[in-house]
A and B are shown apart, each in its own frame.
Chain A
Amino acid sequence: MLKIVNLSKFYGKLLVLRNINLELDDGIYCFFGPNGSGKTTLLKIISGFEKPSSGRIFFNGKDITKMKPEKIVKIGISIAFQLPRVFWNLSVEQNIFLACMDKEKVYSIAELFKLKKELQNIPRKLSQGKLKLLQVSMAYARNPRLLLLDEPFAGLDVESVEQLLDILRNLKQHKSMIITSHRPKLLRGIAKKFFELKGGVIAGSKENPP
């Protein structure tokens, strides 16, 4: 499904990712590691929001390295950012509608992400947890083959984390995902492989969280 070949990324002289080689088939994968290890940059590169300094990315055999993010979404890769990137002056309903462009689907997605009561609210009125759910629901609403979730648990209280984990367990059967997290243990039983990123390189991979 996703193949990354010799991928490196520099910001000026700062090396963020070095020679990443990966081949992922369907399923859920977790990337963990300390701050600055390159997790977010990797997701931004896969989704087209950053361009690599060198290397190639293939999705279902197609080279997507130089594609614009809005094109990458259309071929089946969606991203939910760590910091909420939503439409602040539009209602939750309009936010989800814009992602799927299907009125009926909006309600089923809102149901799945426990946002039904919030449909008429604007994002500013949502709690941190609900805002995160909205962000993930918008990425999901594109019906992607691969969903990228950047630190989905960051800044959430225990209840919101549980809510999001419930949703991820539901999605596990029919959605491939790459999830970055500081807390890989949360994804035990959900992710099928855990990759450790350290200093911009993949330091190792495990079947179970460390």
Chain B
Amino acid sequence: MLAKVLPVILLFFIPPFLGNYVLFLSLIAINLGILTLSWQLMEKDSGWISFGQSIPFGISAYILAINPYLTFLAPVNFLIFLFLSVFGKSLFPFATFITSIATWQASNYLTINGKGGEEGFSVALQLPSEKIYLASATIFIVFLILLEVLSKSKIGLKIKAVRDNEIAAKSIGLDPIKYRMFAFFISSVIASISGILHAITFSHVSPSVFSPFYALFPFVASTISYGKYYTCIFGSFLVVFLTHALTAIFPEAHYILYSVVLMFFAVMKYAKDS
């Protein structure tokens, strides 16, 4: 366990010495790394590829901006995932992605007391970047350890069993809905915290938190970092820094990166299946 977590801790020591800009980008990378952890719990252990992780991420950021006292309600949005998981695939393909795009569009029309809409909301809670960085890095490491332990626990084994074969799970007395609900709830809590940290980092929330950039980010970061809990932060750093470097040349360059990863994933999956 220590061997896995140590490189992550070491990585977090470097950015504070490289100036404010690098620190800010690293902060974004860590927050999105937390989002990637939440996605990996869904994909790796629950076997459910979600392109809508931006939903709990964005909703929590919005709740924090609109009314910080209601932030504790944010993880309840796991019910959306549960509903989409149970019925989504049979209702329409790419259910979570389509839902996240719909949320993105709908959030443009969300106004309260004349605020909101396309402009979004300001976040009242403002903290210096160094403090948020420390909090985000600590939270990332705590979640990383928690997910590693969960994955090896009896409950983790049962979640994987449900992922592998629902009928087999039922035949040995496991209730698939119960274990899926548990995994989705934990995943939503983690994604919600990531959204809250993201909102505090920018002191502002706009409809773009539901955009495909955030919806697909965990998938891309996880794929290029070999899909492990303890490597996902490296993928997250790579995507964030590359995106910002490429933006100077071509504003929407990250979508090219996303497309390449999606194609790579599709080819690998085809090769594996055949």
Give A contacts to B, CB under 8 Å. Answer: 47, 49, 68-70, 73-74, 78-79, 81, 85-90, 94, 97-99, 101, 138-139, 141-142
Contacts and interface: CB of A to CB of B under 8 A. Distances in A.
A98 B161 contact: yes
Contact of A87 (B165, B170, B173): B165
Majority secondary structure, B binding face:
helix
Interface string B145-162: 000000000100110110
Nearest to B154: A101
A86 B163 CA distance: 11
A49 B173 contact: no
Interface residues of B, number: 17
A155 B163 CA distance: 27
Contacts of B101: none
Contact of B168 (A47, A87, A94, A97): A87
6 contacts: A49-B170, A73-B173, A85-B167, A86-B164, A90-B157, A138-B168
A125 B95 CA distance: 34
A139 B171 CA distance: 8
B74 to A, nearest CB: 31
B172 interface: yes
A9 to B, nearest CB: 18
A81 B170 CA distance: 12
B132 interface: no
Given A70-B174, A73-B171, A78-B171, A98 B165 contact: no
B181 to A, nearest CB: 14
A57 B165 CA distance: 27
B269 to A, nearest CB: 15
B157 A73 contact: no
A82 to B, nearest CB: 12
B171 A47 contact: yes
Closest A-B pairs by Cβ, 3 of them: A87-B164, A85-B168, A73-B173
A83 B165 CA distance: 12
Contacts of A49: 167, 170-171
B164 A88 contact: yes
Contact of B171 (A85, A88, A89, A90): A85
Contacts of A90: 157, 160-161, 164
A79 B173 CA distance: 11
Nearest to A99: B172
A94 B157 contact: yes
Contact of A81 (B157, B160, B171): B171
Given A49-B167, A49-B170, A70 B160 contact: no
A79 B157 contact: no
A91 to B, nearest CB: 10
| Interface hub of A47, A70, A86, A90 (most chain B Cβ within 10 A) | A70
A85 B166 CA distance: 9
A74 B172 CA distance: 8
A87 B160 contact: yes
Nearest to A101: B154
| Interface hub of A74, A99, A138 (most chain B Cβ within 10 A) | A99
B252 interface: no
Contacts of A94: 157
A89 B172 CA distance: 17
A73 B164 contact: no
Contacts of B170: 49, 68-70, 73
Given A70-B174, A97-B157, A138-B172, A89 B164 contact: yes
B175 interface: yes
Interface in B114-170: 154, 157-158, 160-161, 163-165, 167-170
Contacts of B154: 101
Contacts of A79: 171
A103 to B, nearest CB: 11
A150 to B, nearest CB: 11
A36 to B, nearest CB: 21
B173 A70 contact: yes
A74 B163 CA distance: 21
Contact of B172 (A68, A88, A98): A98
A86 B165 contact: yes
A101 B174 CA distance: 12
Contacts of B163: 89
A74 B170 CA distance: 10
Contacts of B167: 49, 81, 85
Nearest to B176: A70
